[in-house]
Each structure stands twice: as C-alpha cells, then as structure tokens.
Structure 1
Amino acid sequence: MTVTQLSTFVLVARLGSVGAAARALNVSESAVSQALTALRTHFGDPLIRRTGGGMRLTPAGARLLPVASRMVALSADAEVAVRAVRGAPDELRVIATSTLTEFVLPSLVEAFACRAGRRTETSFGAASGNEMRVLLENRLADVALGPDLGALRGSEVVSEPLFRTRLVVVTSARAPRPSGPPPLWSWLVDASGTDPDADSGRLLRRLGVTERHVRVFPNQTAAWAAAAEGAGVAPALTHLASPRIRRDELRVLDTPATPSDATWYATALRPEHRSPATDGFLHFLRTPAATRIMREPGTGVSPSQFRPPVHVTLWGG
C-alpha cells in the first residue's frame, strides 16, 4: 500500500469516477485503475463498486475513506517538514478554472517566481470547482483561483475575493442578433462552460441552456474565434475579450442574465495548514503587481527577469 494508491482511491471516491480522478491527477485512466486494483488486492475488498449512477463505496471503502484522507494529508505535512529541514525549494501547486489558466495563471506564477524570497518549485493546471475543493482538502493542491469554494459551512478551505470583473455574451461583430430566446442560441464555450461552479457554467444554467445547444472548444480563445466567424455566441469576461471587441471582431449582446458581476476568488486551506510558499503566493495575489496582471493578462515579467532556480511545469488539464 502506498500514498499514491491512497490518494487515487480518495480522488475516485470524492470525484465519483475513474475518469475524473485521472483528469485531476493528469494520468491515464488505466493508471488509476491499476492503483485501485493494487489497493483492493491489499485489503481483499473491492472498496468501490460501479453502479448505474456512478461509483458506490463498499462498507470497507466507507471506513477506509476518512482514514486514507488523513494519511494523504499527513504525507503532505511530512514532505513539507522534510523539505524545510533539507533546505529544499518550497513546493507550490496552483489550480484554476480553464479560463484563468489560459489567460492569467502563467503570468501570475512567473511574476511570483521573480518576487519570491526563496526558491520555489511551482506547478499549475486547470480544474473544475468540484475538483478544486477535493484537491485542496486532500493536500493535492495548495491554492485554487476561480469560484468561491469556502461558502459551505464547516468547509476546510477559506476563499477570499481577489478580482472583480463583468460577465457578458459576445457574438460576431458582423452577424445579426441570433433569432429566438437565448436558450435556443448556439453557445460556444471552453471547459468552464461545463463546470457548474464557473462563471460560464452558472450563466448557461441561469439562462436554461441545454447541452444540445452547447459546443465545447479546447480553450476560450478558440470559442471566441468561432463566435467571431458567426458560429454562435460565447460567454466572455469583459476585460479579457476587450481587445477583440475593440478590433470589431466581437460585439456584446445583452441577455436577461448579462451583463453581470463576476468575482475571482483565491482559495486555500485554513492558515494553520498552509506552507510558507502558499502564504507567500496568497500575499502576492493581493499586491498591485498581481492585480495589474489579472487586469491586463499577458503583461507579466520579461524573460530576462525570470529567475532560473524556480521551476515551473504544467501538470493539469
């Protein structure tokens, strides 16, 4: 039995499927299945069974889950402690919605790396709101940027408002207004449009848009490009889409739910469970430099200012 196997079990149990756990860990579904098989062999119990509605814990699996969660958390604490004694670089794992990962997160991480007082190994990637909460609570991520995850009573995480913007709907500047009510329009979204916690996902739910009227693109840029070509309409945050609006590629459509306010939050475990790198990054997010990057994405630091000792990798998707 290994910590990796326990982490995999916890993610499958919390997220509800092998596929969701594989996406969160950025590994293949077969790797997740192999870890579960090894754990089942060790305990002599299936632990999790497939049902028509998803996954269901066996009685033994239900008893194992809280214990496994504590073991995974203790393993994370142990790694932080050993790193500190060895003088190794701090570790910082940041996750965000797909939109923030595409436009903002790389520049934020790069700018933080240049300002950090000590070496930090930083990794970052995209996750849905549900995945964010599970990854944070099980110490598999340190900071999440996106929706408010700390609103639930008894939550182990704390969310703080970080940046306010406006959510709008855009279409081709050359196309006429779509016919019919908004639920019948062709909606073009990135992965955040399928996330019920993200701004785009909440907007589609408020407007009553069904899945058959939604097309999902690899990223927000691709969705806006399709909208500019007249393929449909797309949710957009005004400050991110403003360059395309100024170039007359896109124009804003009013809907019963937009324009509306949107807020990005920074979420982490409670202070007593945070690493120095996590505290440092949260402090950086409140600085004018970080606000400027969020307001004007892509204006981070120049390559000559980036300090090589900080290693940045992309680990999520």
Structure 2
Amino acid sequence: MTVTQLSSFVLVARLGSVSAAARTLDVSESAVSQALAALRSHFGDPLIRRAPGGGMRLTPAGARLLPVASRMVALSADAEVAVRAARGAPDELRIVATSTLAEFVLPSLVEAFASRSGRRTATSFGVVSGNEMRVLVENRLADIALGPRPGAGDRGEPVSEPLFRTRLVVVIGAGSPRPPGPPPQWSWLVDSSGTDPDADSGRLLRRLGVAEDHVWVFPNQAATWAAAAEGAGVAPAPAHLVSPRVRRDELRILETPATPSDVTWYATVLQAELRSPATDAFLHFLRTPAATRIMRAPGVGVPPSRFRPPVYVTLWGA
C-alpha cells in the first residue's frame, strides 16, 4: 500500500469517478484504475463500486477507509513539508484556480507575489473545476484555490475568504442583432467553466435553463469572445475582463433575465493552524491593494492548456 494508491482512492471517492481523479492528477485513467486495483488486492475488498445510476458508491469497508486514507494523505503532505524545511529547500506553494482566473489573473498574481515577497518559493499552479478545488485543498493536494466559493467539506476544514467582486455579463458581437427567442434557445459559447456546474458560467447556464445542445465549448475564454465578436453566438464574461473589447466595439453587453449579476472570487485554504508559511504569505499578498489592482486589470495571461496541475505524473513512482 502506497500514498499514491491512497491518493487515487481518495480522489475517486471524493470526485465520484475515475476519469475525474485522473484529470485532476493529470495521469491516465488506467493509472488510477491500477492504483485502485492494488488497494483492492491489498485489502481484499472492492472498496468502490459503480452505482446503478452512474457514479461511484463506497462499500462498507471503503467508507471506513476513506477518512483514514484522507488523514494518511494529509500526513504525507506534512512529512514532505518537514523534510523540505530540514533540507533548506524552497517552500512549496501549489495553487489551483478555475479556468477564467487561470487564463487572465493567476500568472500575473504569481509573478507579482514572487517579486514582492522575497521568499524562496517553488510555485506550481493549474486549472480545476469548482468541486475539485475543495477536494484538493481538503486533502492537502493543493495549498490554495482561487475561484467561486466551494461547498463545505465533510470535515469542514477549508475556509473561503472573499477577494474580489465583479459582475457577470453576457456579450455578443457589436454588430450582431439580438438572438431570436428566449436565452435557452441561443447559441452559448463557453470555455471549460461553462461545463462546470460550480463555476460562475456554469451556474448562469443552469439558471437560464440552457440545454447542452445549445452550448459550444472553446479551449479558453478569449476564444469564446473572439467567436462571439464574429457572430457565432453569445458568451458569458466577467465585466471588467471583457470591457477592453467592449470599448473597442468588438463586443457589446446583452442583458438577460439573469445578468448582469454579482459574482465573487474567493481564496479557499485550510484553517490557519494547518496552513504552510508559503500559503499564509500568498494569502496575505492577495489581501493587498497590489493584488486587487492585478485582479481588476491583469496583464496578459497564459492559456489554461499551458498549465500543469499541482500533482504530477512522477507521483506514480514506486
């Protein structure tokens, strides 16, 4: 039995599928399945079974193992922090964010933090969905998550602090007529956040009752706005991020029954006594006027496709 196998089991149990765990770990589904098979063989129990209606269901033994496995994964993270400190290695900071923040805001925040903090910090960051944020922070697989406020965890450990408030709007090409019919009949252009029920765009589509066959997914948020400007459909957008395109008459704001609406970005972390010094330092930076200015007017971002999740394939070594 290894920490790698326990991490895979915890993520499958918390996220509800092998594919979600594999995506979060950035490994193949077969790697996660092999880790689960090794645990099943070790304990002589299936631990997790597919539920009749979809998803996964813990066996009685799996339900008892889950909280123990979560603690062991957390202790493993604590052990790594202790060894890094003893070796004099840089502090580790693992940040995750939803796609819009990762595309436009996170690179500039990390760069400004590195230049201002004076700390020796090894920073990694990646794109995750809303429900994955809480699971990663709760199980010490990420130090801080930026995005919408996730739901409470089973142990109530992660805490969320509001950082920045903006308005969610819907944009359309500046020269495009208003689409016919009600919003559920429009063509909606989204990035991955539009398929995430916990992200702001996903919540908007759910409030408006937009069906999947009216949604087109693009690699990143900028691509959705470019397609909207060309008349392909409408796209959700944080108002302050899309405002330069509106000022250039590429796009215009289209009112809907659910927009404009207020949205808030949060920082989700463990409770103070469980956080690393690097996490506390970054959280302190996020509260500063300099960080607020970056969130309001970030520099050029990096597409999510260039990010790597905070847990790497090397985790699967023996």
Q: Same fold (TM over 0.5)?
A: yes
8 Å CA contact 2:146, 2:265 repeated in 1: yes
Give the deviation of 1:9 after TM superposition.
0.5
Q: Distance in 2 between matches of 1:110 and 1:116?
A: 10
2-structure distance, mates of 1:84, 1:95:
23
Name structure 1 gaps, 5 residues minimum.
301-312
Give the Å deviation of 1:151.
Answer: 5.7
8 Å contact from structure 1 (residues 150, 158) kept in 2: no
Distance 1:211 1:172 in 2: 22
Contact 1:22 1:29 in 2 (8 A): yes
Query: Which residue of structure 2 aligns with residue 141 of structure 1?
Result: 142
CA–CA separation in structure 2 for the residues paired with 1:284 and 1:254 = 35
Cα distance in structure 2, aligned partners of 1:190 and 1:228: 15
The answer (yes or no) to whether the contact 2:104–2:300 under 8 Å persists in 1 is no
For residue 54 of structure 1, report the CA deviation from its aligned partner.
1.6
Aligned to 2:299, the other structure's residue is in SS state coil
Residues 168 and 254, structure 1, Cα contact 8 Å, conserved in 2: yes
User: 1:171-196, CA deviations, whole angstroms, 9 ceiling, x for partnerless residues?
Assistant: 01111000001111111111111112
Tell me, yes or no, if the aligned pair for 2:127 and 2:307 is still in contact at 8 Å: no
- In structure 2, distance between residues paired with 1:112 and 1:243: 25
Q: For residue 50 of structure 1, what is the aligned residue in structure 2?
A: 50
Q: Compute the TM-score of the two structures, normalised by the length of structure 2.
A: 0.92
- Runs of at least 4 residues off by over 4 Å: 150-154
Give the SS at the match of 1:99.
Answer: helix
Return the alpha-carbon distance in structure 1 between the equivalents of residues 155 and 20 of structure 2: 24
Corresponding residue of 1:192? 193
Summarize the alignment of residues 156-171 of structure 1 with structure 2, pairs less than 5 Å apart: 156-171=157-172
State the partner residue of 1:7. 7
Cα contact 2:134–2:153 (8 A) shared by 1: no
Distance in 1 between the 2:43 and 2:194 partners? 40
8 Å CA contact retained: 1:158, 1:268:
yes
Matched with 1:265 is 266
Secondary structure class of the residue paired with 2:19: helix
Aligned equivalents of 1:314, 1:215: Cα separation in 2:
22
Checking the alignment, whether the CA contact within 8 Å between 1:91 and 1:122 is kept in structure 2 is yes
How much does 1:51 deviate? 2.9
Identity score, percent = 81
Tell me how far 1:152 sits from its aligned partner.
7.0
Any conservation in 1 of the 2:147–2:266 contact (CA below 8 Å)?
A: yes
Count how many residue pairs are aligned between Structure 1 and Structure 2: 305
**1:69-218 to 2 correspondences below 5 Å:** 69-149=70-150, 155-218=156-219
CA contact (8 A) 2:196 2:202 kept: yes
Residue 25 (structure 1) aligns with? 25
The amino acid that maps onto 2:22 is: A
1:316 equivalent to 2:309? Answer yes
Deviations 1:254-303 (A, max 9, x none): 11111111111111000010000000000010112111111111169xxx
Residue deviations 1:130-165, cap 9 Å, x none? 101111110000000011136679621111110111
**Helix, strand or coil at the partner of 1:166:** strand
For 2:316, the equivalent position in structure 1 comes to none
